[in-house]
Amino acid sequence: MNGSRPLHGTRITLDLWHPNCWAIESTERVGGGILAHAIYTAPTTEGESVNGLFTAFGQSTDEVEGLIDEIDESPLAGEVLELQERFGRRQSSSRPGNVVREFFLEYDPADMICPTLLEHGFVHSAPVRIEDGQESWEVCFAGDRDGIEAAIDGVCEDSDAEVSVETITSTPTDESERKHRMDALTSTQREVFELARSRGYYQWPRGVSTRELAGELDISKTTFLDHLRKAESKLLDPDDLGSE
């Protein structure tokens, strides 16, 4: 699957369990939780392990240290390499728990379920959260919404996994996105843009000049162009939706 594909369609939160996962087994045995961020190194030969970047979190130092000890003892995981906190670094408000520890961990890529999710159209869109022996995945589904159930069945069959849908929402369609941008225009910007479009200003060759359009509204060409360019900017660039 092409990882650069735009993530339009359906956003889903999946509750997921799969076998041979050190994070699931560790959080099932002890308290605390884990955020899985990304693979740090990719395998270059068959059978080679990978390094992942993770955050262990909990309500106390003892809870987090107990979780890291449990991970370190797991036969499914390699050595835990903790990262040193940089002096003056602030804890992000998005981080869970009172205590957090970032670490690298080596493990077998054959135990990863991410490739199976991608194969069935589920594109990872946020760090995976693992607590109480369960993973929570925020994904976008690249196919039609009607195909979600079959895709989940495929993941379960291929990975011997247990998957349930926690939440499901549809992202804005192209039509609703265009309406949202049109609604961001001022009344004057909308009037100028609609007039230009209806008179063939955006056709090739152009059916009308900006001087003629300005004359219809009894404003100067400079004023007309100012309103038109601001309207075009809002319609073409979502970062400008808040500008006048």
What's residue 207's pLDDT? 81
Question: Is the distance from CB of 99 to CB of 57 less than 8 angstroms?
Answer: yes
Return the number of other C-beta atoms located less than 10 Å from residue 56's C-beta: 29
6 conformational bin, left if phi > 0, alpha if psi -120 to 50, beta if neither: beta
What's residue 129's pLDDT? 95
Return the number of other C-beta atoms located less than 10 Å from residue 138's C-beta: 16
- pLDDT beneath 50, residues of the chain: 1-7, 45, 86-94, 238-242
Query: pTM here?
Result: 0.63
Q: Decide if domain 174-240 falls under CATH 3.40.1160.10.
A: no
- Ranges of each domain in the chain: 10-170, 174-240
Q: Could you give the CA distance from residue 68 to residue 29 in angstroms, rounded to a whole number?
A: 12
Q: Kindly tell me the sign of the dihedral angle through the C-alpha atoms of 109, 111, 115, 119.
A: positive
What's residue 235's pLDDT? 75
